[in-house]
A and B are shown apart, each in its own frame.
Chain A
Amino acid sequence: MSTAFRTCPVTRLKVHSQADALIKANAVAATIFLIVGGIAAFLVLLTRWQVVHLLDAAWFYRMLTIHGMSMLIFFILFFEMAVLYFAGPVVLSSRVPAPRIGWLSFVVMAIGALTVEWAMWTGRADVMFSSYVPLKAHWSYYLGVILFAVGALTVVGLFFASLVVAKRERTYEGSIPLVTFGALTAAIIAVVTLGHGAAIYIPTFLWSIGVMHVDPAVYRLVFWGLGHSAQQINLGAMVALWYMLGALTVGAVVLNEKISRSAFVLYILFINMAAAHHLLVDPVAGPAWKVWNTSYAMYLAVLASMVHGFTIPAGIEVGQRLRGVTQGMFGWLRKAPWGDPGFSSLIFSIVIFGFVGGITGVTFGTEQINLIAHNTLRIPGHFHATVVGGTALAFMGATYYLIPLIFRKQVAFWPLAKIQPYVFAFGMLVFTMAMTFAGTFGVPRRHWDITFSNTSFDLQYSPAVDLVIGIMAVGGLIAALGGAMYVLVTVWSVFFGRRFDLETVKTGGQI
């Protein structure tokens, strides 16, 4: 058994070879879908910027579906599978129980994802990721999603099993670390989420082959039970990675386990109900249901994020002071390792998620403001701040540690890697704010032609809209450049990079 483990020279954690391999496989798959989704983002962006108006209408809607699925579902979830293998077996220095099941799940997820990609690229599923019934895709699309979800759920089960195994085999002393706890909350939310997923995709699949009826309003309700909860998996995983990056970059400490863990538990308890904010301007539910679910329930989840938004920077400050960085009130921040892409990603992720994503989210989630925000560009403006500026950027930051610690390669093109988070975060900040602002004029999302050139009635938005969309495009292009830098650095490091060992670190030899 012992040969299956290596000891990480930096963290002193014992890493099981199967954990290593599964993390690598899932991270590589995530990156492949990031590339696909990124290319789609570029094309969609250049079409919405009507000065260029690159794609025709059919390919615009197709690419938008491809972008949403490849990014939000495949990239994010494959990466989260890697996070689960890390936060379970690696952090607890234990083995991966039943690694074969891990590989089987990986294959099932890959088959599911490829099936969906095939359906989308061949024009069999021009339905957007939300695929609102009765807008119908080819049955293979729904089947692919189901396969992907089954695979993901199995990995979640394996994560739970790894906690049990680690406890039983006493690979650690005391309670599970906070990072693992955060991943555990994400995993629990994943079970709830995927339950909704089964409850909606199985009937919809049956509907697509003509053996069942699905009510359009029920679809929207259950779909968002899946779709919104899925964002809380991302949230849980992202916050766990925030704590991890704090620890790895500056030795940030946990101020109080009780507070941080209770905040994670709030996510589990309340986030599911907050899915109601997707239905605020729907015809079906009543006002009491809308108000209850989107205020009482949602704000307790918001509270949790506000708590983490305090404890993580505070933990960084205390960690820095313990390491002797004590000058003045903000010396800990000024003297922080801003050249470490793991650290800069962490800070930008917190800031963009909290300020841009959080504030837009809380406001759009109220009944009356939703009336002026629903399905306008405000909505993608909001969620690119949460899931891209927040989650994807945190994943990028984590990758800069994944490469040396798991792939055991040096990060290639180090000067490029150093500035990558700055480029991506700046671009995303401009992109999301401009997009949100464009939405205030009522500009619709998912729309190929806001000049309404071929329609029976004319409509001319204020000239300011052209300007704002132009700014959005420039921000998006800068972010896309940041994304391309990330892909270049990671792919090069992993496939052509030099081996990483402690000697190079000691001599400061990052190339």
Chain B
Amino acid sequence: MHTALEPPKGVWWKPAGRAEKLWVGIAFGWCLVLFAMMPLWHLKGEQNTTGIRRKVEPEAFQARTIEFIQQYQIGTEKGIPVVEPPPGSDVYLLARMWNWVPILKLQKGAEYTLHLSSMDLNHGFNLYPMNINLQVVPDYDYALRIVPGEAGDLRIVCNEFCGIGHHTMIGKLIVVDESAETVTYGGGER
């Protein structure tokens, strides 16, 4: 027996002891379980980070966002347009130093294609309180199919450092439950 500071003499490629073999086996088996879980989670899991990926000029993305805002704007809050697109549509969220534009009003249970991109630096999309995190990279359109699962007045925190105003970069996203609203206002129609 020798220590790790001494050069082994002769042939050191020798069969391992029982305990070591057993451990390597267990560890390898565990790795196989993990191997299997990765694709399985991707297929079975509900939340993947896969979008329709495209390169986009920041100016083009901005123009598209403005067009989108004009089409569906329903109001303004704190100087930022509030937009209510119909279910199934493409919705745009633009990150720039240091706000998120526009304020989206989405319906619970409806599907949207959420386009995320940045006008300037990397930003981080962190949805509060669900804690969903995505990297927003300039020059790229991250188009994700989303289905809002819970109604609420949500926040979008920037969690990628984007300059001195980084910590002030917070946006808003509203998810409404249409069926619940109908009940609240007592409207007879369904």
A: residues with CB less than 8 A from B are 11, 13, 57-58, 61, 91-92, 126-128, 132, 134-135, 172-179, 182, 215-217, 220, 243-244, 246-248, 251-261, 279-287, 290-291, 294-296, 299-300, 302-303, 306-307, 310-311, 314-315, 318-319, 322, 362, 366-368, 370-376, 440-442, 444-450, 452, 454-457, 459
- B138-179: CB near A (< 8 Å → 1, else 0) gives 111110000000000001011111111011111110000000
B185 at the interface (CB under 8 A from A): no
Which residues from 68 to 123 on chain B have a C-beta closer than 8 Å to any C-beta of chain A?
78-80, 99, 116-117, 120-122
What is the bound-complex CA distance between A258 and B16, given in angstroms? 8
B8 touches A257 (CB 8 A): yes
Counting from the closest, the 8 A-B pairs by CB-CB distance are A283-B142, A444-B159, A295-B38, A247-B3, A243-B4, A442-B131, A174-B9, A257-B12
**Sample of 17 more A-B contacts, CB < 8 Å, known A296-B38, A302-B34:** A128-B161, A175-B8, A177-B3, A254-B2, A279-B135, A303-B27, A315-B4, A368-B41, A371-B47, A371-B134, A441-B131, A447-B167, A448-B166, A454-B168, A456-B79, A456-B99, A457-B171
Count, A-B residue pairs, CB within 8 A: 258
What is the bound-complex CA distance between A195 and B3, given in angstroms? 34
17 A-B interface contacts by CB (under 8 A)? A91-B5, A174-B10, A175-B9, A243-B4, A257-B12, A280-B49, A299-B35, A310-B20, A374-B124, A374-B159, A375-B135, A375-B160, A376-B126, A440-B131, A442-B126, A447-B167, A456-B170
Which single residue of chain B is at the shortest CB-CB distance from A134?
A: B121
B33 to chain A, nearest CB (A): 9
Which single residue of chain A is at the shortest CB-CB distance from B3?
A: A247
B133 touches A455 (CB 8 A): no
Q: Which of B5, B159, B163: most chain A Cβ within 10 A?
A: B5
B157 touches A311 (CB 8 A): no
What is the bound-complex CA distance between A291 and B171, given in angstroms? 31
A26 to chain B, nearest CB (A): 20
Residue A452 contacts which of B129, B134, B142, B170 (CB distance < 8 angstroms)? B170
Q: Which of B4, B142, B160: most chain A Cβ within 10 A?
A: B4
Query: Could you say which residues of chain B place their CB within 8 Å of the CB of A176?
Result: 7
B115 to chain A, nearest CB (A): 10
What is the bound-complex CA distance between A371 and B20, given in angstroms? 36
Query: Could you say which residues of chain A place their CB within 8 Å of the CB of B28?
Result: 303
With contact pairs A57-B164, A444-B159 given, residues A371 and B133 touching in the complex (Cβ less than 8 Å): yes
A448 to chain B, nearest CB (A): 4
B5 touches A455 (CB 8 A): no
B133 touches A446 (CB 8 A): no
